[in-house]
Structures are given as C-alpha cells and as structure tokens.
Structure 1
Amino acid sequence: MTRYLDARGLLSAPADHRHVERVLREDGWTPCGAGDWAVALRSPDGTTAARISPFDPTGPFTAALYVRAAHTRQVPELLAHRRLTGGGDLQVLEWLAPVPDGEALALQHALAAPSRELAELAAIVRDLHEQARRELPWCGPLDHNPANVMRAADGRLVVLDLFYADGPDLYATAESDPDRVAALIPETERRFMTEIPLATSGPWDPASRERVRAGLAAADARRAASGAPGS
C-alpha cells in the first residue's frame, strides 16, 4: 500500500485534501462514509480505507496512538499517515466494519475503567491525550461515541478517532474572535478550516462559513502587517 501511495505522489509530494481525494477516486476508490472532520474512501479491493480531512489538528496524535498501541491489536492497523498541505490529514487504515452500539459502548466503558486486558491501551491513550491537551489550544475530551469502536476483518474490536478538536468552541471563537485563532493556530495548519464536511452535526450555514473564512483572512492580514511571528 505504501508503495502504491508513494508512486501516486500521495506520501511525500505536496498535496492537499482535494488532490488526495481526486487521485484516489481516479484510481477506483469509492466513498464509504463521512463525519464532521473527514471523508472516507474504500480501496478497489475492499481491504483498505483512506480517511481524508481538510483540517484535523489531532491527526498526528491519532496516528501516534495507532503506532504505539499496534502491538495490543486493539487499534486499527495504520498503513500510512501524512499531514497534508494546509493542516489536513491522511490516514490509510485496514478496512473496518461497524458494530452494534451495545457492544461498542461496553468496550468504551471498559476502556474508561480498564481491566488488565485493556490497561496498556488505556495508559497509551491517556498519555497521548494529556500531550494533546498541552500542545493543542482546542483539544477536546476523549470521544466516547460508539461509532469509534469497530471490527476488523479478523474479528477483533478496535478503538479509533478518540481524539478530536473542540469544534463548537473553536469555530465559535473563529467567528467571534478570529485574531485569537490566528494567533494560536498558524495559517499553514488551518488553511482549509472551513472545508470540513460536518456530515454529522451540519449542515453549516453558508453565510456563517463565509464569515469565518473572511474573518480569519482579515486576521492573518493584520498579523502580517504587524510582523507577528508565524505570519
């Protein structure tokens, strides 16, 4: 998989979320889901999924979880990960199937008060989440959505997408105080902030979306004019 992605220029060459989705679709990958932060495409052979986000500050922490906890077999197999131009995120994972809510919630509850079987995973999750809360200005609490528990092809249950940015607060601040967002998140890491799908909690009012985009652009211009660091 990494050889294919590299050959298509998706692992090292400059690319944003639009380019990645376009290339994969041209190669026969098909839409298989969408959430607030990302869309998912399934590979032609059905064994792999690509999660493509225009803007996801927590993406590196999620990828780190999959790498650090890989030996537990309680997280998805991460086949590739890269940050995309403008603050987007690409994760290529083994194909996963949904599970009933009751089964998913039971695992989420077990992870919150872990047995010996889940203790190592819980410790890794806690460590990475604490790091994310220190380093990211709008990192939210752990996401206990039952949709974040899925089943791999070999039958094991895995947890995914536990980390997320506090979208309601972040986007409300971007509209009411764009200078604060511009000061805390570099433009290079939020260029496509207004292009997240919001498939779950949306739709996003087009006028509000444009106010956020215009407000951030004006804030960036003010920072550049003042010579602020990172502008």
Structure 2
Amino acid sequence: MTPREAEQKLLGDGWTPGGAGDWAIALRSPDGTRAARISPFDPTGPYSAALYAQAAHTRQVPVLYAHRRLTGGGDLQLLEWLTPVPEPDAAAFHRALAAGAPEVAELAAIVRRVHAQARCELPWCGPLDRNPANVMRAADGRLVVLDLFYADGPALYATAAADPDRVAALIPEAERRFMTEIPMASSGPWDPAARESMRAALAAADARRAAVHPTRQT
C-alpha cells in the first residue's frame, strides 16, 4: 500500500496522530504502547530497521515489531511507544555512543557497521544524526536511540532541483515516487510551487531516461 493508505488504514483501526517530523509522521496505537512511523520517502528506513534488529539484545534501541517498505519508496515501522528525555541526558548518550564508551560499546559497533553499509549503498546518505530528539525513553525507563540514519535532504533536494537527471539515474522512480510529500514539519513549510516544479522536472527526467533506455525498469 501507499504511505497515505497505510496512514488511513491505521487511523481507521483506532490509531491516533502522535507527532510529525521532517521525514515521517507518527501514529499511536489504541492501547498507547506502540508507535507507527510512516514516511512517504525514506531510503534509510531498511537500515534503521536492520539496526533495531541487530542491536535488539543491547536494549538500547527501540523494540521493532514490524517493518514494511511501502509503494513508491515509503517506509512503515511499528515500534514501542517512546517519550522525550531532557536534552542533557540525550546529549550525554550521544557523546557516549560517539566515543564507544563501555556502556554502549556493542551498540556503537553495530551502528558503525550498518551505517557504513548505508553509506556504501545509498546515494546521499548523510552522517549519523546526533539530534538530541533521537534519544528517547521506553516505558521501562531505559534510554534508546533511533533515527540515526537519514538521507542528506538539503543535498538531495538541491540536486533534484538543479540536476533532476542525476537523481533519476541514481534513485529509481519506484523508490522516490512520493519524495516531494515528506512532512517537513520541523524545517518547512515547503512552497507548493517548488514541490510541483520538482515533480515536473523529475517526471521529465524519467521520460528522457525511458527514451534512452526503453526496456529499463524503474
């Protein structure tokens, strides 16, 4: 299903809005114990899911109940519900992770390994996101880190505006169909005219690419 269809399905099942960021929205389950993170476009979603699975035994990442890629390059993650922590606590956790401190050494090694894979495989994969908001508290009181991996949005979207053919060549259309529909709740608003211009430029780039490679599947 598409990201919008996934959102509507969960809302119809009694989930409620739980917040929004630049790349994704969150919904909260009817019993309050789980969160659905839905992004219209998130190339790094599979790598975040891989981190949560591989580091689950450390109890320093969120519990991941399910992960699904959505039509058009979207991403759905079902996670345990988390709450914010004071910024000094979050910053201290990030410092420990960056230093590979003993209490987070195993997590740090897994983060480095998965991030290296993402940087190797994904165009425009950014550095680790040290935003304090990415450290949160689980219901049992432990601190966890999430959303460490992200696409370098400013570089990616600037390239899409200036050189859409490069984006079309590096990211298949099927994996970026909704890339102009990310929420931008923190950095926005995103001018509707600019969005439409980018959509049109990418569509034209896809058409040029299809004319040159008529059998290529996107």
Quickly name the TM-score band, shorter chain normalised.
Answer: over 0.9
Asked if 1:194 corresponds to 2:180, the answer is: yes
1:115: how far off? 1.7
Q: Distance in 1 between matches of 2:13 and 2:68?
A: 19
Q: Distance in 2 between matches of 1:80 and 1:130?
A: 23
Paired position in structure 2 for 1:8: none
Aligned-pair identity in percent equals 76
1:21: how far off? 0.2
Alignment length (residue pairs): 217
Alignment of 1:123-138 (within 5 A): 123-138=109-124
Instruction: Report the more deviating stretch, 221-230 or 46-55.
Output: 221-230
Paired position in structure 2 for 1:89: 75
Paired position in structure 1 for 2:153: 167
* Cα RMSD for the two superposed structures: 0.8
TM-score by length of 1: 0.93
Paired position in structure 1 for 2:13: 27
Instruction: Report the more deviating stretch, 178-187 or 217-226.
Output: 217-226
Q: Residue 115 of structure 2: SS of its match in structure 1?
A: helix
Asked if 1:213 corresponds to 2:199, the answer is: yes
Q: Distance in 2 between matches of 1:112 and 1:207?
A: 40
| Matching residue's letter, 2:167 | V
1:102: how far off? 0.6
Q: Residue 223 of structure 1: SS of its match in structure 2?
A: helix
Q: Distance in 1 between matches of 2:206 and 2:45?
A: 24
Paired position in structure 1 for 2:30: 44
1:27: how far off? 1.0
Q: Residue 184 of structure 2: SS of its match in structure 1?
A: coil
Asked if 1:71 corresponds to 2:62, the answer is: no
| Matching residue's letter, 1:58 | T
1:95-136 CA-to-partner distances (Å, cap 9, x unmatched) read: 100001110000001100022221110000001111100100
- Structure 1: 5+ residue runs without aligned partners? 1-14
Alignment of 1:149-188 (within 5 A): 149-188=135-174
- Structure 2: 5+ residue runs without aligned partners? none
Q: Distance in 1 between matches of 2:10 and 2:98?
A: 37
Q: Distance in 2 between matches of 1:199 and 1:116?
A: 36
1:28: how far off? 1.0
Q: Distance in 2 between matches of 1:48 and 1:104?
A: 21
Paired position in structure 2 for 1:224: 210
Q: Distance in 2 between matches of 1:44 and 1:107?
A: 30
- Superposed structure 1 runs of 4+ greater than 6 Å apart: none
TM-score by length of 2: 0.98
1:230: how far off? 3.6
